[in-house]
Amino acid sequence: MPLPGRVIAFVNFKGGVGKTANVVNIGACLAKYHGKKVLIVDLDAQCNSSLWLMKPEELEKHNQDLHRCSYQIFRDKIVGSSVFDFVKAVVRGVPRREYTLIANLDLLPSAVEMAMIEDQIHQIKSVSAFTILYQALKPYFGAYDYVFLDCPPNLYTVSKNALFAAQYCVVPYIPDYLSLSGFLVLADMIDEFYNRLSGQMTVRRRPQIAAFIINHFVRQRNVFETGVNEFEIMINRLKENGKIHPRAQCLHPYIRFNVHVAESTNEHLPVILHKEDSMGAMDYADLTQNFIRHFEVTL
């Protein structure tokens, strides 16, 4: 049995790489097919994972009280309050209709007010600015088999809070040349951040990039095949340099482009509930089995 609370940050400073799709759909598969207790923590001002799993009117009603979202965690630290209440903030069993659809999948929603945090958080001059999320959520990690941190598409302070809180990082990736050059910068920045805060991690193992997920894969396009091959070569080089986990790997299968995954956002459902027999649902079901094997056996 896995240790409780495998905390995994899904991070990439590029938008549109499938980060939230991976968080929502792997989380849903873990909960529905494997009985894992999963928490998704939305840290993005765009609220993408929140809106994927909640209807807009549900999220708006929930966020009428900003105390019940991830924004309040950071706001408390900035203004010196202690208003955030995890038990009241977490939405249990998402998505919901007349009844709970996936009982083991919980969500800590975000709010558009998260967009203000980066400007406000600079008032905190010490490294404690990067430990806010960890300190707030650490008491609750043990209640879950997996905690997924859905980061904004950048490496600013909120994303760095997720990096500090995580045990591992997963990088969603689209295989093309521009993404490859960007990934090198991303790996260097994450490694540099962990080096800088190593003194704050003396009682736990230093987190590292441990897995990659290839998204929007189209086998007929040679550029994608070439891009994946070049990416695998780069991963091996980074392992040799110690900048990523020595057993980091691209998880299989690659997630093929599938219209049903895109459609499922409009229904506010994971693809396995929207179209269970679709190619996208099957890809995510297969990927999730390998995800479990990687994080519970390989690492």
Helix (H) or strand (E) holding 273: helix 271-274
* Cα separation, 13 vs 152, whole angstroms: 8
The predicted structure's pLDDT at residue 35: 97
Q: 15-43: per-residue pLDDT in tens?
A: 999 999 999 999 999 999 999 999 999 99
The predicted structure's pLDDT at residue 176: 76
Q: Tell me which residue has tokens 């009603």.
A: 61
* Cα separation, 173 vs 13, whole angstroms: 11
Classify domain 6-298 by CATH architecture.
3-Layer(aba) Sandwich (3.40)
pLDDT by position in tens, the chain (length 299): 334 579 999 999 999 999 999 999 999 999 999 999 999 999 999 999 999 999 999 999 999 989 999 999 999 999 999 999 999 999 999 999 988 899 999 999 999 999 999 999 988 889 999 999 999 999 999 999 999 999 999 999 999 999 999 999 999 999 877 788 889 999 999 999 999 999 999 888 899 999 999 999 887 667 778 888 999 999 999 999 999 999 999 999 999 999 999 999 999 999 999 999 999 999 999 999 999 999 999 99
Per the structure block, which two tokens stand in for 106?
């919980």
**What is the value of pTM for the model shown?**
0.96
Residues 6+ apart with CB under 8 A from 110: 42, 43, 44, 45, 46, 47, 49, 50, 69, 70, 71
Bridging pattern class, strands 146-150 and 105-108? unpaired
Q: For residue 103, with 0-12 CB atoms within 10 Å meaning exposed, 13-18 middle and 19 or more buried, which class applies? A: middle
The predicted structure's pLDDT at residue 260: 97
Domains of the chain, by residue range, sit at 6-298
The predicted structure's pLDDT at residue 220: 61
